Structure 1
Amino acid sequence: MKVSVTDKFLWDVYNFLENVNSAAGFMFKAPTMRNWLPGEENPIFKKYKKEKGRREFNNLIYYLKRRGYLKVKNLESRHGMIITKLGISKALRASFKLGKAKKRKDGKWAMLIFDIPQKHRKSRDLLRSILLNLGYELFQQSVWVTPYDVSEKTEKLLQTHSLDRYVKIFLIEELS
Protein backbone atom coordinates (compact mmCIF):
# COMPACT_ATOMS: atom_id res chain seq x y z
CA MET A 1 0.00 0.00 0.00
CA LYS A 2 1.44 3.36 -1.05
CA VAL A 3 1.71 5.93 1.70
CA SER A 4 1.59 9.65 1.00
CA VAL A 5 4.48 11.94 1.93
CA THR A 6 2.13 13.72 4.32
CA ASP A 7 1.32 10.51 6.19
CA LYS A 8 4.96 9.42 6.30
CA PHE A 9 6.11 12.84 7.53
CA LEU A 10 3.47 13.03 10.27
CA TRP A 11 4.30 9.49 11.40
CA ASP A 12 8.02 10.33 11.56
CA VAL A 13 7.31 13.49 13.56
CA TYR A 14 4.98 11.65 15.95
CA ASN A 15 7.45 8.78 16.35
CA PHE A 16 10.26 11.26 17.07
CA LEU A 17 8.15 12.96 19.76
CA GLU A 18 7.24 9.64 21.37
CA ASN A 19 10.91 8.57 21.50
CA VAL A 20 12.06 11.92 22.90
CA ASN A 21 9.38 11.91 25.59
CA SER A 22 10.05 8.33 26.69
CA ALA A 23 13.84 8.86 26.59
CA ALA A 24 13.50 11.97 28.73
CA GLY A 25 11.37 10.05 31.19
CA PHE A 26 8.85 12.81 31.71
CA MET A 27 5.95 14.55 30.09
CA PHE A 28 5.78 18.31 29.74
CA LYS A 29 3.09 19.90 31.87
CA ALA A 30 1.53 22.11 29.21
CA PRO A 31 -0.40 19.97 26.70
CA THR A 32 1.08 21.85 23.76
CA MET A 33 4.67 21.45 24.97
CA ARG A 34 4.50 17.67 24.71
CA ASN A 35 3.93 17.94 20.97
CA TRP A 36 6.42 20.75 20.38
CA LEU A 37 9.17 20.43 17.79
CA PRO A 38 12.05 22.87 17.51
CA GLY A 39 11.97 24.31 13.99
CA GLU A 40 15.24 24.33 12.08
CA GLU A 41 17.35 21.99 14.22
CA ASN A 42 14.81 19.17 14.21
CA PRO A 43 16.36 16.04 12.61
CA ILE A 44 13.08 15.07 10.92
CA PHE A 45 12.85 18.48 9.27
CA LYS A 46 16.48 18.29 8.13
CA LYS A 47 15.93 14.83 6.63
CA TYR A 48 12.83 15.82 4.65
CA LYS A 49 14.31 19.14 3.55
CA LYS A 50 17.35 17.29 2.18
CA GLU A 51 15.26 14.54 0.49
CA LYS A 52 12.55 16.74 -1.02
CA GLY A 53 14.31 20.04 -1.48
CA ARG A 54 13.59 23.31 0.25
CA ARG A 55 10.64 24.38 -1.92
CA GLU A 56 8.78 21.03 -1.73
CA PHE A 57 9.44 20.81 2.02
CA ASN A 58 8.02 24.31 2.55
CA ASN A 59 4.96 23.34 0.49
CA LEU A 60 4.53 20.25 2.67
CA ILE A 61 4.69 22.30 5.88
CA TYR A 62 2.28 24.88 4.42
CA TYR A 63 -0.15 22.10 3.45
CA LEU A 64 0.05 20.51 6.92
CA LYS A 65 -0.58 23.87 8.60
CA ARG A 66 -3.48 24.69 6.27
CA ARG A 67 -5.11 21.29 6.94
CA GLY A 68 -4.71 21.73 10.72
CA TYR A 69 -2.15 18.97 11.31
CA LEU A 70 0.62 21.32 12.49
CA LYS A 71 0.69 24.75 14.11
CA VAL A 72 3.63 27.15 14.21
CA LYS A 73 4.29 28.71 17.59
CA ASN A 74 6.91 30.94 19.15
CA LEU A 75 7.98 29.26 22.36
CA GLU A 76 10.73 30.82 24.43
CA SER A 77 11.52 33.20 21.53
CA ARG A 78 12.12 30.27 19.13
CA HIS A 79 10.01 29.08 16.24
CA GLY A 80 8.60 25.63 16.71
CA MET A 81 5.90 23.33 15.37
CA ILE A 82 3.14 21.74 17.38
CA ILE A 83 1.48 18.60 16.09
CA THR A 84 -2.27 18.95 16.68
CA LYS A 85 -4.82 16.32 17.74
CA LEU A 86 -5.78 15.99 14.10
CA GLY A 87 -2.12 15.50 13.19
CA ILE A 88 -1.62 12.85 15.87
CA SER A 89 -4.71 11.02 14.66
CA LYS A 90 -3.51 11.08 11.05
CA ALA A 91 -0.03 9.94 12.12
CA LEU A 92 -1.39 6.94 14.03
CA ARG A 93 -3.60 5.96 11.11
CA ALA A 94 -0.61 6.29 8.79
CA SER A 95 1.42 3.98 11.01
CA PHE A 96 -1.01 1.18 10.27
CA LYS A 97 -0.55 1.74 6.52
CA LEU A 98 3.23 1.87 6.89
CA GLY A 99 3.68 -1.29 8.90
CA LYS A 100 2.53 -4.76 8.00
CA ALA A 101 -0.43 -5.58 10.18
CA LYS A 102 0.68 -8.16 12.73
CA LYS A 103 -1.79 -10.57 14.23
CA ARG A 104 -1.71 -11.07 17.96
CA LYS A 105 0.77 -13.75 19.04
CA ASP A 106 -1.67 -15.32 21.48
CA GLY A 107 -4.32 -15.78 18.76
CA LYS A 108 -6.88 -13.70 20.63
CA TRP A 109 -9.04 -11.02 19.05
CA ALA A 110 -9.65 -7.51 20.30
CA MET A 111 -13.34 -6.63 20.60
CA LEU A 112 -14.36 -3.00 20.89
CA ILE A 113 -17.85 -1.99 21.97
CA PHE A 114 -18.98 1.61 21.99
CA ASP A 115 -22.07 3.54 22.99
CA ILE A 116 -21.82 7.15 21.88
CA PRO A 117 -24.94 9.31 22.36
CA GLN A 118 -26.77 10.59 19.28
CA LYS A 119 -25.86 14.19 20.11
CA HIS A 120 -22.19 13.24 19.50
CA ARG A 121 -22.78 11.86 16.01
CA LYS A 122 -19.57 13.40 14.61
CA SER A 123 -17.56 11.63 17.29
CA ARG A 124 -19.26 8.34 16.45
CA ASP A 125 -18.46 8.77 12.75
CA LEU A 126 -14.87 9.66 13.64
CA LEU A 127 -14.56 6.52 15.76
CA ARG A 128 -15.85 4.34 12.92
CA SER A 129 -13.29 5.78 10.50
CA ILE A 130 -10.50 5.27 13.06
CA LEU A 131 -11.52 1.65 13.56
CA LEU A 132 -11.61 0.97 9.82
CA ASN A 133 -8.16 2.52 9.41
CA LEU A 134 -6.77 0.33 12.19
CA GLY A 135 -8.07 -2.88 10.62
CA TYR A 136 -11.19 -3.46 12.71
CA GLU A 137 -14.21 -5.13 11.12
CA LEU A 138 -17.84 -4.57 12.02
CA PHE A 139 -19.14 -7.62 13.92
CA GLN A 140 -22.52 -6.22 15.00
CA GLN A 141 -23.90 -2.74 15.40
CA SER A 142 -21.43 -0.83 17.64
CA VAL A 143 -19.27 -3.96 18.04
CA TRP A 144 -15.97 -4.15 16.16
CA VAL A 145 -13.32 -6.89 16.17
CA THR A 146 -9.77 -7.32 14.91
CA PRO A 147 -7.17 -10.10 15.02
CA TYR A 148 -4.38 -7.49 14.79
CA ASP A 149 -2.29 -6.18 17.64
CA VAL A 150 -3.45 -2.56 17.53
CA SER A 151 -4.52 -2.10 21.15
CA GLU A 152 -1.93 0.59 21.89
CA LYS A 153 -2.77 2.61 18.79
CA THR A 154 -6.48 2.25 19.50
CA GLU A 155 -6.08 3.51 23.06
CA LYS A 156 -3.95 6.48 21.97
CA LEU A 157 -6.49 7.51 19.34
CA LEU A 158 -9.38 7.13 21.78
CA GLN A 159 -7.58 9.31 24.33
CA THR A 160 -6.56 11.86 21.70
CA HIS A 161 -10.17 12.35 20.65
CA SER A 162 -11.63 11.99 24.19
CA LEU A 163 -13.68 8.95 23.18
CA ASP A 164 -12.31 6.52 25.78
CA ARG A 165 -15.23 7.05 28.17
CA TYR A 166 -17.68 5.68 25.57
CA VAL A 167 -15.64 2.60 24.64
CA LYS A 168 -14.88 -0.79 26.20
CA ILE A 169 -12.16 -3.07 24.80
CA PHE A 170 -12.05 -6.81 25.47
CA LEU A 171 -9.71 -9.64 24.50
CA ILE A 172 -11.64 -12.68 23.32
CA GLU A 173 -10.59 -16.23 22.50
CA GLU A 174 -12.68 -16.78 19.37
CA LEU A 175 -15.58 -15.48 17.33
CA SER A 176 -18.70 -17.59 16.97
Structure 2
Amino acid sequence: MAINTIDLFEVFLSVGYGASYGKFQYELSKKQRERDQKSIEREMKNKAKQNYYNLIYQLKRGGLIEEKEKNNKKFFIITKKGKGKLSFLKKQHKESLPEVSYSSEENNKFIIFIFDIPEKEKRKRDWLREVLKKLGLKMIQKSVWIGKTKIPKEFLDDLFKLKIIDYVEIFEITKAGSLKNLV
Protein backbone atom coordinates (compact mmCIF):
# COMPACT_ATOMS: atom_id res chain seq x y z
CA MET A 1 0.00 0.00 0.00
CA ALA A 2 2.96 2.36 0.62
CA ILE A 3 3.98 2.13 -3.03
CA ASN A 4 0.47 3.16 -4.12
CA THR A 5 0.50 6.07 -1.67
CA ILE A 6 3.87 7.28 -2.97
CA ASP A 7 2.68 6.92 -6.58
CA LEU A 8 -0.56 8.71 -5.73
CA PHE A 9 1.30 11.60 -4.10
CA GLU A 10 3.80 11.94 -6.99
CA VAL A 11 1.02 11.92 -9.60
CA PHE A 12 -1.03 14.43 -7.60
CA LEU A 13 1.93 16.84 -7.56
CA SER A 14 2.85 16.30 -11.20
CA VAL A 15 -0.55 16.62 -12.94
CA GLY A 16 -1.22 20.05 -11.53
CA TYR A 17 -4.31 21.88 -10.37
CA GLY A 18 -7.47 21.35 -12.41
CA ALA A 19 -6.41 18.04 -14.02
CA SER A 20 -9.30 15.75 -14.91
CA TYR A 21 -9.96 12.46 -13.17
CA GLY A 22 -9.11 10.63 -16.42
CA LYS A 23 -5.73 12.39 -16.69
CA PHE A 24 -5.05 11.59 -13.04
CA GLN A 25 -5.91 7.88 -13.54
CA TYR A 26 -3.80 7.74 -16.72
CA GLU A 27 -0.73 9.21 -15.02
CA LEU A 28 -1.19 6.93 -11.99
CA SER A 29 -1.40 3.78 -14.11
CA LYS A 30 1.60 4.96 -16.15
CA LYS A 31 3.61 5.42 -12.94
CA GLN A 32 2.62 1.94 -11.70
CA ARG A 33 3.52 0.35 -15.07
CA GLU A 34 6.97 2.00 -14.92
CA ARG A 35 7.49 0.68 -11.38
CA ASP A 36 6.36 -2.81 -12.43
CA GLN A 37 8.65 -2.74 -15.47
CA LYS A 38 11.63 -1.77 -13.34
CA SER A 39 10.78 -4.54 -10.90
CA ILE A 40 10.64 -7.10 -13.72
CA GLU A 41 13.95 -5.89 -15.17
CA ARG A 42 15.59 -6.06 -11.75
CA GLU A 43 14.23 -9.57 -11.24
CA MET A 44 15.49 -10.71 -14.66
CA LYS A 45 18.93 -9.22 -13.99
CA ASN A 46 19.12 -11.01 -10.63
CA LYS A 47 18.01 -14.28 -12.25
CA ALA A 48 20.71 -13.97 -14.96
CA LYS A 49 23.32 -13.22 -12.31
CA GLN A 50 22.23 -16.24 -10.26
CA ASN A 51 22.37 -18.46 -13.38
CA TYR A 52 25.92 -17.26 -14.01
CA TYR A 53 27.02 -18.08 -10.46
CA ASN A 54 25.32 -21.49 -10.63
CA LEU A 55 27.14 -22.26 -13.88
CA ILE A 56 30.52 -21.25 -12.43
CA TYR A 57 29.82 -23.36 -9.32
CA GLN A 58 28.92 -26.41 -11.43
CA LEU A 59 32.02 -26.00 -13.62
CA LYS A 60 34.27 -25.70 -10.55
CA ARG A 61 32.61 -28.64 -8.82
CA GLY A 62 33.01 -30.74 -11.98
CA GLY A 63 36.71 -29.91 -12.12
CA LEU A 64 36.37 -28.22 -15.51
CA ILE A 65 37.66 -24.79 -14.43
CA GLU A 66 39.79 -23.37 -11.62
CA GLU A 67 39.67 -19.91 -10.12
CA LYS A 68 42.99 -18.07 -9.93
CA GLU A 69 43.92 -14.69 -8.50
CA LYS A 70 46.59 -12.37 -9.84
CA ASN A 71 47.09 -8.72 -8.88
CA ASN A 72 43.91 -8.83 -6.77
CA LYS A 73 41.90 -9.83 -9.86
CA LYS A 74 40.11 -13.15 -10.17
CA PHE A 75 40.03 -15.13 -13.39
CA PHE A 76 39.25 -18.67 -14.49
CA ILE A 77 41.42 -21.17 -16.29
CA ILE A 78 40.22 -24.30 -18.00
CA THR A 79 41.61 -27.54 -16.58
CA LYS A 80 42.83 -30.58 -18.50
CA LYS A 81 39.51 -32.28 -17.78
CA GLY A 82 37.72 -29.15 -19.02
CA LYS A 83 39.69 -29.14 -22.26
CA GLY A 84 38.73 -32.77 -22.85
CA LYS A 85 35.06 -32.01 -22.23
CA LEU A 86 35.24 -28.96 -24.51
CA SER A 87 36.74 -30.94 -27.39
CA PHE A 88 34.07 -33.63 -26.89
CA LEU A 89 31.29 -31.03 -27.02
CA LYS A 90 32.78 -29.37 -30.13
CA LYS A 91 32.94 -32.75 -31.87
CA GLN A 92 29.39 -33.57 -30.82
CA HIS A 93 28.13 -30.22 -32.09
CA LYS A 94 29.95 -30.66 -35.38
CA GLU A 95 28.30 -34.06 -35.87
CA SER A 96 24.81 -32.89 -34.89
CA LEU A 97 22.12 -33.09 -37.51
CA PRO A 98 19.92 -30.17 -38.60
CA GLU A 99 16.30 -29.82 -37.51
CA VAL A 100 13.78 -31.92 -39.40
CA SER A 101 11.34 -29.05 -40.00
CA TYR A 102 11.29 -27.54 -43.48
CA SER A 103 8.44 -25.71 -45.15
CA SER A 104 6.96 -27.72 -47.98
CA GLU A 105 4.94 -26.44 -50.91
CA GLU A 106 2.64 -28.44 -53.13
CA ASN A 107 3.98 -29.06 -56.63
CA ASN A 108 2.06 -30.16 -59.74
CA LYS A 109 4.99 -32.30 -60.91
CA PHE A 110 6.17 -35.54 -59.39
CA ILE A 111 9.49 -35.63 -57.55
CA ILE A 112 11.43 -38.87 -57.29
CA PHE A 113 14.05 -38.76 -54.57
CA ILE A 114 16.64 -41.57 -54.63
CA PHE A 115 19.60 -41.98 -52.31
CA ASP A 116 22.28 -44.53 -51.54
CA ILE A 117 24.00 -43.39 -48.35
CA PRO A 118 26.73 -45.75 -46.99
CA GLU A 119 26.16 -47.71 -43.79
CA LYS A 120 28.79 -45.69 -41.92
CA GLU A 121 26.53 -42.63 -42.40
CA LYS A 122 23.49 -44.43 -40.91
CA ARG A 123 22.48 -41.49 -38.69
CA LYS A 124 22.38 -39.16 -41.68
CA ARG A 125 20.39 -41.71 -43.69
CA ASP A 126 17.79 -42.03 -40.91
CA TRP A 127 17.63 -38.23 -40.65
CA LEU A 128 17.06 -38.01 -44.41
CA ARG A 129 14.19 -40.51 -44.27
CA GLU A 130 12.55 -38.55 -41.47
CA VAL A 131 12.85 -35.29 -43.44
CA LEU A 132 11.39 -36.87 -46.58
CA LYS A 133 8.46 -38.19 -44.54
CA LYS A 134 7.85 -34.72 -43.04
CA LEU A 135 8.00 -33.15 -46.51
CA GLY A 136 5.11 -35.38 -47.55
CA LEU A 137 6.94 -37.79 -49.83
CA LYS A 138 5.92 -41.47 -49.82
CA MET A 139 8.34 -44.35 -49.54
CA ILE A 140 8.40 -46.73 -52.52
CA GLN A 141 11.51 -48.51 -51.27
CA LYS A 142 13.71 -47.57 -48.29
CA SER A 143 15.85 -45.35 -50.52
CA VAL A 144 13.28 -44.34 -53.16
CA TRP A 145 10.68 -41.72 -52.31
CA ILE A 146 8.05 -40.00 -54.44
CA GLY A 147 5.68 -37.09 -54.04
CA LYS A 148 4.31 -33.82 -55.37
CA THR A 149 6.32 -31.49 -53.15
CA LYS A 150 8.81 -28.77 -53.95
CA ILE A 151 12.19 -29.49 -52.36
CA PRO A 152 13.19 -26.53 -50.11
CA LYS A 153 16.54 -24.86 -50.80
CA GLU A 154 17.43 -25.01 -47.06
CA PHE A 155 17.08 -28.79 -47.23
CA LEU A 156 19.44 -28.99 -50.21
CA ASP A 157 21.89 -26.73 -48.39
CA ASP A 158 21.80 -29.08 -45.38
CA LEU A 159 22.46 -32.09 -47.65
CA PHE A 160 25.54 -30.26 -48.91
CA LYS A 161 26.70 -29.34 -45.37
CA LEU A 162 26.26 -32.97 -44.25
CA LYS A 163 28.33 -34.07 -47.27
CA ILE A 164 25.67 -36.49 -48.50
CA ILE A 165 24.59 -34.57 -51.61
CA ASP A 166 26.75 -36.88 -53.76
CA TYR A 167 24.67 -39.87 -52.64
CA VAL A 168 21.36 -38.27 -53.67
CA GLU A 169 19.53 -38.06 -57.01
CA ILE A 170 16.40 -35.95 -57.45
CA PHE A 171 14.21 -36.30 -60.54
CA GLU A 172 11.26 -34.19 -61.61
CA ILE A 173 8.68 -36.02 -63.72
CA THR A 174 6.45 -34.00 -66.02
CA LYS A 175 4.35 -36.86 -67.46
CA ALA A 176 3.11 -39.14 -64.70
CA GLY A 177 2.01 -42.24 -66.63
CA SER A 178 1.83 -45.18 -64.22
CA LEU A 179 3.19 -43.08 -61.34
CA LYS A 180 -0.36 -41.87 -60.61
CA ASN A 181 -1.10 -45.27 -59.08
CA LEU A 182 1.77 -44.93 -56.61
CA VAL A 183 0.83 -41.59 -55.11
TM-score (norm 2): 0.40
Higher relative contact order (Cα pairs below 8 Å, separated by 6+ residues): 1
TM-score, normalisation: structure 1? 0.42
